[in-house]
Structure 1
Amino acid sequence: MKNLRVPLLVFSFLGIGQTAFAQDDQQTQLINDMLVIADKFAAPGAEGAAIQTSAGWFSSASTLDKWKFEVSLHGNGLFVPSGKKNALITNDRDIKLVNVKGSNNALIPTVYGGDTNVMFELEFRNPLNGNVETKEFEAIDGLDKGMLLHPYPQVTVGLPYGTEVAVRFLPPIMVNDIGFSTYGAGIKHNFSQYIERRFDPEDFQFAAAATYSNFKVDYAFSQLSIPPFMELNRIDVNADLWLFQVLGSKLYDSFEVFGALGVTLSQFDYKMGGTGPALPLLNQELMNLHGNSTKFKGDIGFNYYFSNFKISSMFTASNFFNANIGLHYRI
């Protein structure tokens, strides 16, 4: 497990609260700077979670027969591009009270990045004695992940009128020191049935789908003790995501080609995990970092049918790349 070095002294100022920093602009600016640093660290993790959440919902434009069930086990592999492993931070533009030491800017790791030797420095007036002091702390080390794996089960049921509904649920699990949990539901409707022609299962199929899902990811690190202010041990990302997409597929005997275009609408929040009287103040300000994001995505995949089983493979391209493999059993 990576040891993420959080700037202990700076966070400890947050715990002094209303007594020492009352009416002092330093507190507001310090918190703002730390929120910028936290956002640059965690935001790519939220974006990656949104892509993984949107993957694998439907692998064909055709639908199950009425009241037929399909039980599936999926595995996602999120590939992290190099541009998402580091973030640029600039003095005066991004941060005000805190500064990059020895430079006007620096590349700091995101949650996917590796170790760093970037140092920050902070010059402040100590409210306890009035003296101007300078302190240094190191940027947070990332988890050094180039790919994240995410398994989940799913159940799909065929409904009347060429419609099917899918639900997925995964209780919290740990994979490579990262905790995952997800739940959601989706609906798909086939439009090829309205074309005036004799229906053939191997004809080109066209459908549209909409899904909602919630995805929680817990990036754990070695507990950091900052008595009496807080104990920190993780960063949580909570993502809510809507997906709207159109799908097309063509069956060739037992082999099927699949493609889809869609748009994702996501909202995500951050939270530090741990204990201590200063932690609620930090998390209250972190809640203001919640972001809304709209992304376009494309899927391409292949299915192979045998007996009551189907093996699906799907590749998703957006601001991240994701591969999905599923094993399906039809009842």
Structure 2
Amino acid sequence: MKKILLLLTVYLLSVPAFAQSDDVGKFIDDILLIAGKFSAPAADGAGIQASAGWFSSASALEKWDFRFSLHGNALMVPSKKKSFTLNNSELQLLEIQGVESASLPTAFGGVSNDVLVGNINFMGQDIPVDFDAIDGIGRDYIPHAFAQVAVGVGAGTEITLRAMPKVTIDDVTASTYGLGVVHNLSQYFNPYNFERSFQVAIGVAYSKLNVEYEFEPQGAQGIVLLDQINVDADLFMAELIASKNFGIFEPFGAVGLMNSSFDYTFGGTGDYLSEVNTQVNKLEDSNFQFKGDLGFNLHFDRFRLSATGTVGEFFNANLGLHVRI
């Protein structure tokens, strides 16, 4: 990401003089293409991880009953999500030095030794461009923890609030919060002798995720110095849930659809900071994904232990400890 910031800064130092340069337009298009391929797997993974752990039963709390929960997530990163193939034929101005194509890291990948090069023709002069491919974080799984509070509001309906305060690891700060609602559908089927131990419900949830990346200032004093990127994600989910109670043991499953959208904003100083954030709007994205949940609960009086596997573009494992108040 630092490489993208530096290249955008080079472009913005000459605004608006660069505005009429075809080469600069091609250069920016190439950077956004590479940035999109770099960040797309992380966006998909965030959607899967944010959708996990909302509901582990189709049975809703009784009116004004409360349940407090602590959850731990682990998003597993498959090898195919750690890299992407880039061909010179996809690029307009840049090219990969020495080869026609290369496997470059995504946000989940590791370190790359590949170099991107090119020349920008501006006012009769060639401005050389030479930078390393962007390095990823190099992880096989992404941990994520949060707390939830649920309350029954009657009519087979339960409302859940989720929150994780800001947590900083190295130079990355993340926080999340959200709201979920589950409504039991089996209550309408009882006249048709549906088993009361078998429950069906529909659940919807909204999550807000904020991630801040801090880095050493990049750019020129007084013009633009970039030192942070903020990523704001809005994540929506709807799913159909089924569970069956066997006393202490309650298996459950769910199928659903998610929509995630991402907004990027750079932080820093300088007269051209607003121009940076205008250009980076091209990186904003929205994505639909299907998902499935499969898991079980173990009931111990007021306590419940849940284990859930969420499958979509990624696999996410979730463990939850719940206490009814």
Q: 1:271 to 1:89 in 2, by over 3 A?
A: farther
1:262-281 equivalence runs, <5 A: 262-281=256-275
Distance across 2 between alignment mates of 1:276 and 1:41:
27
**Equivalent residue for 2:26?**
29
- Residue 97 (structure 1) aligned to one of 90, 93, 110: 93
1:188-207 equivalence runs, <5 A: 188-194=182-188, 195-196=190-191, 203-207=197-201
- Secondary structure in 2 aligned to 1:103? coil
**Equivalent residue for 2:216?**
223
**Quick check: 1:322 aligned with 2:316?**
yes
The residue identity in structure 2 corresponding to 1:148 is I
1:3-82 equivalence runs, <5 A: 6=3, 10-82=7-79
Range that drifts further, 251-260 or 12-21: 12-21
Distance across 1 between alignment mates of 2:242 and 2:231:
33
1:279-294 equivalence runs, <5 A: 279-294=273-288
**Quick check: 1:252 aligned with 2:246?**
yes
The residue identity in structure 2 corresponding to 1:266 is S
- Residue 85 (structure 2) aligned to one of 81, 85, 88: 88
1:51-200 equivalence runs, <5 A: 51-93=48-90, 95-127=91-123, 130-175=124-169, 177-194=171-188, 195-196=190-191
Q: 1:8 to 1:65 in 2, by over 3 A?
A: closer
Q: Is the 8 Å Cα contact of residues 115 and 132 (structure 2) preserved in structure 1?
A: yes
Distance across 2 between alignment mates of 1:176 and 1:9:
21
- Secondary structure in 2 aligned to 1:142? coil
Aligned residues: 323
The residue identity in structure 1 corresponding to 2:32 is L
Range that drifts further, 279-288 or 161-170: 279-288
Q: 1:282 to 1:37 in 2, by over 3 A?
A: farther
Using the TM superposition, give the Cα deviation of residue 5 of structure 1 relative to its aligned residue in structure 2, in angstroms: 5.2
Distance across 1 between alignment mates of 2:165 and 2:115:
38
What value does the CA root-mean-square deviation take over the aligned residues?
2.2
Using the TM superposition, give the Cα deviation of residue 122 of structure 1 relative to its aligned residue in structure 2, in angstroms: 1.3
TM-score w.r.t. structure 2 length? Answer: 0.91
The residue identity in structure 1 corresponding to 2:86 is I
User: Structure 2: where are the runs of 5+ without partners?
Assistant: none
Distance across 2 between alignment mates of 1:54 and 1:168:
11
Distance across 2 between alignment mates of 1:152 and 1:133:
48
Using the TM superposition, give the Cα deviation of residue 12 of structure 1 relative to its aligned residue in structure 2, in angstroms: 3.6
- Secondary structure in 1 aligned to 2:41? helix
The residue identity in structure 1 corresponding to 2:117 is E
User: Structure 1: where are the runs of 5+ without partners?
Assistant: none
- Residue 242 (structure 1) aligned to one of 227, 236, 240: 236
Q: Is the 8 Å Cα contact of residues 209 and 246 (structure 1) preserved in structure 2?
A: yes
Q: How much identity, in percent, do the aligned residues show?
A: 41
TM-score w.r.t. structure 1 length? Answer: 0.90
